[in-house]
């Protein structure tokens, strides 16, 4: 059974700081890993999708990496801004479309 | 292009009742997945529908069921509601069943409270 863990559960940083969010998964037989952002009381917004054959993906100030052999993914946020404050979830997608989500990291960026 | 819409946005029911939630995917998307999100269990996969057929199912009791219509709209039904069913129910759509390159687009969710 796939298990996804995100550390830390919460993170508070000053504006402008670079930061890393961690995601680990137990079953390396994934075909992609996705990072999402969730604002309070709202749905999820897809940030980055890394296919199992890829090592990383970049979008603007965001960079996500994937290491299947160690069962880890990281989301790097450069030059954080108050608008980045949200909960970030990673999800491992395995065969036939089943997905397992982590509990998320709640990020607060202070002005 | 309009996003994923879910109705109703908020719902209050009592134990023992049943409830039906609706999801309209992004135009052209044929796959719809449902998730339950609670503070204790996090976000858990319920089921996925494609072309009116259930393609995958998570580990939920038979009280949770769903269906998809020919226009790709989907409904989720929960019978004999329990207090523990109180949650945010999220719907997500994608062009085709989730695969290596397919991003899911989520709706805003339906907040269900069971009293």
Q: What is the pLDDT along chain B (115 residues), one digit of tens a residue?
A: 689 999 999 999 999 999 999 999 999 999 999 999 998 899 999 999 999 999 888 999 999 999 999 999 999 999 999 999 999 999 999 887 766 667 889 999 999 999 9
CB contact under 8 A, B106 and A43: yes
Sheet strands (E) in chain B? 5-7, 10-13, 19-24, 31-38, 42-50, 53-57, 64-68, 74-78, 87-94, 105-106, 110-114
Whole-number Å distance between alpha carbons of A4 and A26: 7
**Would you give the end-to-end CA distance of chain B in angstroms?**
37
The residues pairing with B50 across neighbouring beta strands, listed in sequence order, are B31, B53
CB contact under 8 A, A102 and B99: no
Q: Is B22 in a helix, a strand, or coil?
A: strand
Report the alpha-carbon angle A20-A39-B45, nearest 5: 85
CB contact under 8 A, B4 and A43: yes
**CA of A50 to nearest chain B CA: how many angstroms apart?**
8
User: What pLDDT is recorded for position A41?
Assistant: 81
């Amino acid at each position: 059974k796939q298990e996804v863990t995100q550390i830390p559960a919460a993170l508070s940083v000053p504006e402008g700081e670079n930061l890393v969010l961690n995601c680990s998964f137990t079953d390396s037989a994934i075909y992609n890993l996705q990072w999402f952002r969730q604002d309070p009381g709202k749905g999820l917004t897809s940030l980055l999708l890394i296919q199992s054959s890829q090592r990383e993906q970049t979008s603007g100030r965001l960079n996500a990496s994937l290491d299947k052999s160690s069962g880890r993914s990281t989301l790097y946020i450069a030059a954080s801004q108050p608008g980045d404050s949200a909960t970030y979830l990673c999800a491992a997608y395995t065969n036939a479309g089943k997905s397992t989500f982590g509990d998320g990291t709640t990020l607060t960026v202070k002005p | 292009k309009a996003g994923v819409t879910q109705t109703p946005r908020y719902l209050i029911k009592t134990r023992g009742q049943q409830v039906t939630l609706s999801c309209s995917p992004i135009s052209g998307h044929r796959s719809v997945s449902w998730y339950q999100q609670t503070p204790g269990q996090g976000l858990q996969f319920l089921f996925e529908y494609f072309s009116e057929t259930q393609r995958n199912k998570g580990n939920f009791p038979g009280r949770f069921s769903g269906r998809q219509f020919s226009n790709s709209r989907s409904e989720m039904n929960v019978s004999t509601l329990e207090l523990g069913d109180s949650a945010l129910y999220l719907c997500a759509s994608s062009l085709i069943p989730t695969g290596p390159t397919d991003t899911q687009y989520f709706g805003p969710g339906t907040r269900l409270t069971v009293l």
